[in-house]
Chain A
């Protein structure tokens, strides 16, 4: 549910500053200009957090806080005091009445958001209707590793993507980067000195800006203890060195919840194409399996009832691929889609070895597949070949 924050301040300026500070987050701001209005709104709106000024006309912040804490219905609402009074005695006094924290004016918006984020969960706001990011959208990946060669390898490995890779050597530099402009994903070497990877992970999780940013660990295969520790503390995944860039790309896409379907599916006005890559890892198979039903349904909705399943890049068959293809064929049958399989000699030979696949027929070109599906004229040569 969307968080509601009540800001009580006699200064409209401060209320606008508060609104601006929380604008990037999914929360609603309600305003009151003094303690009386604040109490009334607190009872009506039951906010998740109250930001309370101290010096106000009509009823000041301390009086409102005292009344709030004596109201059974409202006393549980956490209060963050905004005060120009930074003295120790004053802070002790308001702490005794029951504030969760306080911010001394003048204050930076980031400090206010940070402190509020420790009390309520602040989720970054998506722009209007949630747009699913796709694999072709730009993204920023921050790599924290004191070995420049690793950063370089990741940069080079993602040159074909629209992603930008920034590399830094220390956790301090990483925090600076994240404060300035939070990346979409962070990869941290678990081998940084003094367990810096884990303290950085803690800092990232406690910062509102990076609380939900996926964080990957990076370590050599043999460092089992570090891998286990990373899994335990909540790293999204651990990548082992030497880095398999295809695997890393798949994991990043999954962690960032990117729509990767355009890698495997394409449409034209009469045909849906599904194409499997040569390296069908488990991640790839899982991705394609998830997309099959929605993409084929989308095709039917667009008036397309013919599909070509292109397997020519495959170097062989295994049970994972067979399961995916059987699933795809069932979806086609259920949706009334006619399909043709494109394959190669190796694949055709492999298929003969399995009960489920021994009857599968492959064509070797898209042109033949289109003709097979009734979408093109048979060329004379092909017709002659067919007759022969």
Chain B
């Protein structure tokens, strides 16, 4: 949706952790409760700064765990990107839940189905977060979601970007949400 950003309005107060965190938690909780029927709680401290990414989890076989990463951009009074990291097997489970599909279905259609579902989950999280921020004056528009598979430590933000990393727990599964906000 190409929402026009209202012009002539006073600049909103600078975005702070106090503004971001509760809205992001709300967004995650809404999407997980309504679409995935799974509980989710924030856990651990917020990590801020360029070196904020927490240590990548080690998979049982010693290989760094793979995540499906959903990315949605914001542009307007707030510019940046929201990244949602879901462990691969968890992403497949969420896809099955969303589509009411069997295990074999997600195995057969593997990457495309799971990617599409993670893209939509990320889009919904970003949408709820954006709507909540719009009420505080941060009107912006969303980009189409993009999805890729990666290890958590892969992406490096550009210099001059504020980075917030939040860890969530959904029934023992660690989920990461990364928010990159341009100055």
Bound Cα distance from A16 to B96, whole angstroms: 11
Residue B88 lies at the interface, judged by CB distance under 8 Å to chain A = no
Residue A322 lies at the interface, judged by CB distance under 8 Å to chain B = no
- CB atoms of A20 and B99 under 8 A apart: yes
B contact residues around A85 at 8 Å (CB): 1, 3, 127, 130-131, 142
Residue B57 lies at the interface, judged by CB distance under 8 Å to chain A = no
Residue B120 lies at the interface, judged by CB distance under 8 Å to chain A = yes
- CB atoms of B113 and A84 under 8 A apart: no
Give the size category of B's interface with A. 20 to 34
Residue A17 lies at the interface, judged by CB distance under 8 Å to chain B = yes
Binds A, one of B27-35, B162-170, B171-179: B27-35
Residue A134 lies at the interface, judged by CB distance under 8 Å to chain B = no
Task: Find A84's partner among B99, B117, B119, B127 (CB 8 Å cutoff).
Answer: B127
Task: Find B127's partner among A13, A14, A105 (CB 8 Å cutoff).
Answer: A105
- CB atoms of B144 and A55 under 8 A apart: yes
Per-residue interface assignment for chain B, residues 117 to 131, with 1 indicating a CB less than 8 Å from any chain A CB and 0 otherwise: 101100110111011
- CB atoms of A62 and B1 under 8 A apart: yes
- CB atoms of B98 and A13 under 8 A apart: yes
- CB atoms of A108 and B123 under 8 A apart: no
A contact residues around B139 at 8 Å (CB): 87
- CB atoms of A107 and B127 under 8 A apart: no
- CB atoms of B113 and A12 under 8 A apart: yes
Bound Cα distance from A13 to B100, whole angstroms: 11
Given A20-B99, A87-B134, decide whether A13 and B1 contact each other with a Cβ distance below 8 A: no
Task: Find A106's partner among B2, B6, B35, B144 (CB 8 Å cutoff).
Answer: B35
Bound Cα distance from A57 to B126, whole angstroms: 17
- CB atoms of A106 and B1 under 8 A apart: no
Given A84-B124, A106-B124, decide whether A55 and B1 contact each other with a Cβ distance below 8 A: yes
Residue A146 lies at the interface, judged by CB distance under 8 Å to chain B = no
- A1-52: which have CB < 8 Å to B? 10-14, 16-17, 20
- CB atoms of B126 and A13 under 8 A apart: no
Given A11-B116, A13-B116, A108-B34, decide whether A60 and B2 contact each other with a Cβ distance below 8 A: yes
Residue A86 lies at the interface, judged by CB distance under 8 Å to chain B = yes
Bound Cα distance from A83 to B31, whole angstroms: 14
Residue A90 lies at the interface, judged by CB distance under 8 Å to chain B = yes
Task: Find B131's partner among A55, A60, A86 (CB 8 Å cutoff).
Answer: A86
Given A13-B98, A108-B34, decide whether A54 and B119 contact each other with a Cβ distance below 8 A: no
- CB atoms of A106 and B31 under 8 A apart: yes
B contact residues around A60 at 8 Å (CB): 1-2
Minimum CB–CB distance for B150 against chain A, Å: 20
Task: Find B1's partner among A20, A57, A61 (CB 8 Å cutoff).
Answer: A61
Give 7 nearest A-B pairs by CB, closest first. A84-B127, A54-B1, A106-B34, A13-B120, A13-B117, A11-B120, A86-B131
What are 17 A-B contacts with C-beta separation under 8 Å? A10-B144, A11-B123, A12-B116, A13-B99, A13-B113, A17-B99, A54-B1, A55-B142, A55-B144, A56-B144, A85-B1, A86-B131, A87-B131, A104-B131, A106-B31, A106-B34, A108-B34
| Other A-B pairs beyond A16-B98, A106-B124, 20, CB < 8 Å | A10-B144, A11-B119, A12-B113, A13-B117, A16-B101, A17-B98, A55-B1, A60-B2, A62-B1, A84-B124, A84-B127, A84-B130, A84-B131, A85-B127, A86-B127, A87-B3, A89-B3, A90-B3, A104-B127, A104-B131
